[in-house]
């Protein structure tokens, strides 16, 4: 039952269709078998009626009043002992006249007809203990003296032969229903496939939207799906507007706090100049903490949502960040190695990509002795340096906000923490390991878009 609730719609429709078809065909099979059995019994009764007419036409009384049959029955089984076809003529108070196939047995007619217009056809015990399907009729025959005499004529066929015919019909019926079942099921599967194809197209469109191959869900969709497409597009537009407003508010907040923080820094400098070192240190510490907090929240507010509808070119962004780092302290003496295909595009907002690259590459610049290498293998973006590296037990530590393993290096210690935040928002995997260059290698799962 849980599978029915959570399984694919195609699977559930197929399961329900298979159940419905099998149920209907089972009912149809039972109905066909019943109708065929009724038809066979009617046919047998018709055959027995023909034999009755042959038998009744040959019945006559002789001069002694004895009943004789001069009829020549068309079916030779009447003349064979236990041949499967039987007849018997009964007259009250007189011995029965029987076919040779009856041998020395006789029918015990349960309900003899009361008038010539009555026909009784039913199943009853026959010779050898076998059931027979019997037809009973009442006829009135005039003897030699002109007296009317009432005779009950019974013509019967062994029921096993009738049941055999019905059973033989059941085998091809079952085979035919099985073929019909699989034909109908295949037809239903085709209908389900064609009917659900618009949902597959919609899923592919949403997937393209998610990975950044498209900015909106587009294409022709059925009327039943179009409202959903419109709602998804409206939701994407609303999220983009919310993101833009959040970035604007973050920028306004940064500008609004810049002046008070500058005033506080100036006040700390004045206090330091007047010899009030303790008060100056406390103010500077508070200002630094506030700047770190503002920088971190500004970085987070600039991040796009994890369901990105953007695609950005990777190589131009890397070259732009590397060019900026060349003008930073020691940037001009570092050997910058960039190995990224020019056509590589990734599903990340352009601003977020620059934020990611800026923190990773600048971190490499700060700790490199002479080489920083930036590569992309189609799946991962890696930034390596030939610096002192990081001990394995300290890998997790440097991801924390404000943590700096080298207290003498410039910066607030937010770089890799911001990278970690970006990876969490976008669902990327962030991996730290020792580089082949000797320093730290930071890898981010950032697949190239096709």
For the segment 345-367, the average pLDDT, to the nearest whole number, is 86
DSSP annotation of 102 reads: G
DSSP class of residue 117 equals T
Report how far Cα 297 is from the mean position of its chain's Cα atoms. Answer: 42
Check whether residue 184 and residue 288 sit in a common domain: no
Q: Return the top range by mean pLDDT from 201-215, 257-271, 367-381.
A: 367-381
256: domain range? 228-301
**Contact indicator for 107, 131 with CB cutoff of 8 Å:** no
Residues 269 and 297 in one domain: yes
Distance CA 133, CA 156 (A): 6
Residue 47 has pLDDT above 80, yes or no: yes
When mean pLDDT is compared across 50-59, 82-91, 156-165, 316-325, the lowest value belongs to 156-165
Say if CB 240 and CB 309 are below 8 A apart.
Answer: yes
Domain-embedded: residue 120: yes
Among 393, 403, 401, 330, CA closest to 364: 330
Q: What is the Cα–Cα distance from 18 to 107, expressed in whole angstroms?
A: 51
State residue 179's pLDDT score: 92
Residues 204 and 323 in one domain: no
CA distances in angstroms from 229 to 13, 200, 206, 235, listed in the order given:
23, 13, 9, 10
Q: What's the pLDDT at 128?
A: 83
Six-digit token pair at 317?
Answer: 């962004």
Distance CA 190, CA 389 (A): 60
C-beta of residue 67 within 8 angstroms of C-beta of residue 177:
no
**Helix 159-211 and helix 9-57: axis angle, to 10°?**
160
Q: Answer yes or no: is pLDDT of 309 > 70.
A: no
| Last residue of one domain, picked from the residues 175, 210, 245 | 210
Residue 290 has pLDDT above 70, yes or no: yes
User: β-pairing, 335-339 with 371-376?
Assistant: parallel
79 and 48, same domain (yes or no): yes
Residue 450 lies in a domain: no
In 83-168 the beta strands, taken as DSSP E runs, fall at 85-90, 97-98, 119-125, 131-142, 148-158
pLDDT at 402 over 70: no
Identify the weakest region by mean pLDDT among 35-49, 321-335, 390-404. 390-404
| 189 and 279 together in one domain | no
Q: What is the pLDDT of residues 220-277, one digit of tens each?
A: 777 777 888 888 888 878 877 877 777 777 767 766 777 787 778 888 788 878 888 8
Task: Give the closest residue to 355 by CA, choosing from 267, 418, 399, 289.
Answer: 418
The answer on pLDDT for 16 being more than 60 is: yes
Chain segment 428-439, per-residue pLDDT in tens: 888 888 899 989
Q: What residue spans of 108-225 are helical by DSSP H?
A: 159-211
Point out the domain boundary residue: 253, 277, 301. Answer: 301
Whole-number average pLDDT of the chain: 81
Q: What CATH number did the domain enclosing 368 receive?
A: 3.30.565.10
Confidence of residue 335 (pLDDT cuts 50, 70, 90): very high
- DSSP per-residue string spanning 312-361: EEHHHHHHHHHHHHHTSTTGGGSEEEEE--TT-EESS-HHHHHHHHHHHH
Q: Same domain, yes or no, for 260 and 203?
A: no
| CB contact set of 410 (below 8 Å; sequence gap of 6+) | 329, 366
- Specify the pLDDT at position 171: 84
Structure tokens at 355: 């934020």
Q: Which of 99-108, 355-364, 415-424, 434-443 has the lowest mean pLDDT?
A: 415-424
Whether residue 326 is found in the same domain as residue 184: no
Q: Do 31 and 168 sit in the same domain of this protein?
A: yes
For residue 73, pLDDT beyond 50 = yes
Structure tokens at 363: 């971190």
What mean pLDDT comes out for the span 35-59? 87
Q: Residue 215 domain-assigned?
A: no
Position 3 confidence tier, pLDDT thresholds 50, 70, 90:
very low
Question: What band does 292 get if pLDDT is binned at 50, 70 and 90?
Answer: low
Please name which of 122, 154, 163 lies closest in space to residue 55, comparing C-alpha atoms. 154
Shared domain for 177 and 238, answered yes or no, is: no
Q: What local confidence, expressed as pLDDT, does residue 303 receive?
A: 54
Residues 159 and 296 in one domain: no
- pTM > 0.75: no
pLDDT at 383 over 90: yes
CB atoms within 10 A of CB 360: 26
User: Do 51 and 81 belong to one domain?
Assistant: yes
Is residue 216 situated within a structural domain?
Answer: no
């Amino acid at each position: 039952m849980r599978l029915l609730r959570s399984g694919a719609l195609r699977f559930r429709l197929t399961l329900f269709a298979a159940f419905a078809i099998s149920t209907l065909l089972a009912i149809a099979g039972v109905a066909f078998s019943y109708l065929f059995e009724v038809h066979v019994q009617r046919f047998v009764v018709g055959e027995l009626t023909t034999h009755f007419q042959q038998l009744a036409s040959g019945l006559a009384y002789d001069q002694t009043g004895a009943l004789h049959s001069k009829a020549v029955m068309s079916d030779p089984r009447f003349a064979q002992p236990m041949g499967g076809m039987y007849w018997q003529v009964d007259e009250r108070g007189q011995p029965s006249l029987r076919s040779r196939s009856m041998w020395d047995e006789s029918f015990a007619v349960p309900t003899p007809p009361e008038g010539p217009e009555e026909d009784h056809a039913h199943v009853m015990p026959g010779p050898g203990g076998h059931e027979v399907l019997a037809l009973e009729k009442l006829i009135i025959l005039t003897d030699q003296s002109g007296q009317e005499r009432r005779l009950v004529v019974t013509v019967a066929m062994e029921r096993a032969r009738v049941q055999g015919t019905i059973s033989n019909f059941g085998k091809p019926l079952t085979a035919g229903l099985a073929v019909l079942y699989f034909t109908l099921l295949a037809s239903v599967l085709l209908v389900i496939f064609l009917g659900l194809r618009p949902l597959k197209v919609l899923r592919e469109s949403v997937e393209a939207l998610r990975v950044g191959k498209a900015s909106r869900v587009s294409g022709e969709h059925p009327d039943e799906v179009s409202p959903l497409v419109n709602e998804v597009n409206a939701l994407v537009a609303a999220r983009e507007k919310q993101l833009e407003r959040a970035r604007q508010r973050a920028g306004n907040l940064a500008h609004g706090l810049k002046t008070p923080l500058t005033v506080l820094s100036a006040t700390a400098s004045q206090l330091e100049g007047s010899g009030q070192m303790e008060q100056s240190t406390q103010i500077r510490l508070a200002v630094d903490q506030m700047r770190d907090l503002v920088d971190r929240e500004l970085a987070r507010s600039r991040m796009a949502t994890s369901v990105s509808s953007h695609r950005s070119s990777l190589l131009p962004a890397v070259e732009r960040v590397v060019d900026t780092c060349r003008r930073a302290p020691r940037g001009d003496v570092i050997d910058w190695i960039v190995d990224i295909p020019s056509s590589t595009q990734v599903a990340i907002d352009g601003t977020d990509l620059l934020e990611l690259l800026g923190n990773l590459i600048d971190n490499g610049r700060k700790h490199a002795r002479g080489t920083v290498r930036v590569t992309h293998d189609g799946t991962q973006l890696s930034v390596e340096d030939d610096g002192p590296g990081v001990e394995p037990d300290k890998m997790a530590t440097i991801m924390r906000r404000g943590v700096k393993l080298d207290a003498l290096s410039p910066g607030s210690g937010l770089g890799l923490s911001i990278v970690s935040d970006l990876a969490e928002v976008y669902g990327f995997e962030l991996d730290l390991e020792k580089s082949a260059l000797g320093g730290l290698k930071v890898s981010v799962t950032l697949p190239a878009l096709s």
